[in-house]
Amino acid sequence: MAHASKATAGLMTLLLLFLATTDGRPVNSGVESPLLQDKLAAVAIDNKVILTQTSCGYLEFAVNWITHMEALGIKNWLTIAEDETAMRFLEERYPGHAIPASAFTNEALSNGNALYEWGSAAFTKVACARPTYLQLVLDLGYEVLWSDMDAVWLKDFFHLAPQGLDYVGVDDSEVENEQETPNACTGLMYFRPTVRAQQLLSDWHDMCMELNQNNQGAFNRVFGGSDQHRQLDYYIMPKALYPHGALIELVDYKPEQGAAGGLDPAWIHANYRVGHSAKREFLRDRMVWRADEFIKNYAIPTCPVSQDGVMVPEHGSEEPQPTEEPQQVPQVPLEPAA
């Protein structure tokens, strides 16, 4: 009997620890994706996973992002491939670090998309899928960090960010106090598997669908417009470390020169630029575009053209990557988009 009592006590302790990690929310609630579970288990480090996303038309941005992650020694990342062309390329070049979007949606991948036109049905679908992707990872009990691929990491986020919160983000506004931001950036977001984080993601998805494509606007309407979400345990990282694309242009940062005003950024984000070429040239001007070195030795696939909202890269009009809306900052004049 004594032995049974000890065993029961041990099980109760494990149960309490299990519930504490999710604020009482069961892990793996309704997720039926063995592939997702296997991929997360294979790459997670300290129960943390970095999630990002690409399609065929943005593979050179994916290569640039991954090259910087490898230079930092970061290995716990997964890239969601939105089409078969991107999936084949990523799995061949970076085995174990690519996962098809179908692992989250149970829908077949297209045979390879180029650039999604902002405002198209295809763009809307991809933009509003992000909170669902994140929520499914949280459902499996992992902490998840989302990163857009039109950015470059110069430092490891996990070495800088506070731990134990529901949500850690970055600011995309001009306010002095980042904790009061009216416009948190959805290009870098870290969540823990808590009830509050899960509810935020669920409401974000619903709002994104309601606003019909406005991914970041939907997030900020939910994040800032409800007492429930203001009860989140959250922190917004300093802009000195995570400047948005308009702010970093003011100091004209280049890694070999440092930056004016003591800015020593942990990343460079090419937001506030509309179009493939404008983003690439912004990163190239700041000496952080390394995809060209890769392309000298390996070919980037040519993207088929099909479906609503798909455009040919380089030869026709260019649009933002699927996860980002065009943004404007009146205070900072920018060059016209290419």
What is the model's pLDDT at position 24? 31
Query: How high is the pLDDT of residue 315?
Result: 31
Confidence of residue 228 (pLDDT cuts 50, 70, 90): low
Pick from 31-35, 109-113, 229-233, 315-319: least confident: 315-319
Residue bearing the bigger pLDDT, 226 or 79: 79
Asked whether residue 9 carries a pLDDT value surpassing 50, the answer given is no
Average the pLDDT over 250-267 and give the result: 65
State the average pLDDT over residues 52-67. Answer: 93
Residue 44 tokens, joined: 């997670």
- Give the C-alpha separation, 173 to 178, whole Å: 8
Question: What separation in angstroms does the CA of 150 have from each of 15, 75, 105, 320?
Answer: 41, 19, 24, 10
Predicted TM-score of the model (pTM) = 0.79
pLDDT average, residue stretch 253-267: 66
Model pLDDT for residues 135-166, shown as the tens digit of each residue = 999 999 999 999 999 999 999 999 999 999 99
- Whether the pLDDT of residue 31 is over 70: the answer is no
pLDDT number for residue 187: 94
Cα-to-chain-centroid distance, residue 15: 32
Model pLDDT for residues 72-124, shown as the tens digit of each residue: 999 999 999 989 999 999 999 999 999 999 999 877 776 655 445 445 566 66
**13 pLDDT more than 50:** no
Q: What residue ranges define each of the domains in the chain, with the CATH number in brackets?
A: 34-311 (3.90.550.10)
The predicted structure's pLDDT at residue 238? 94
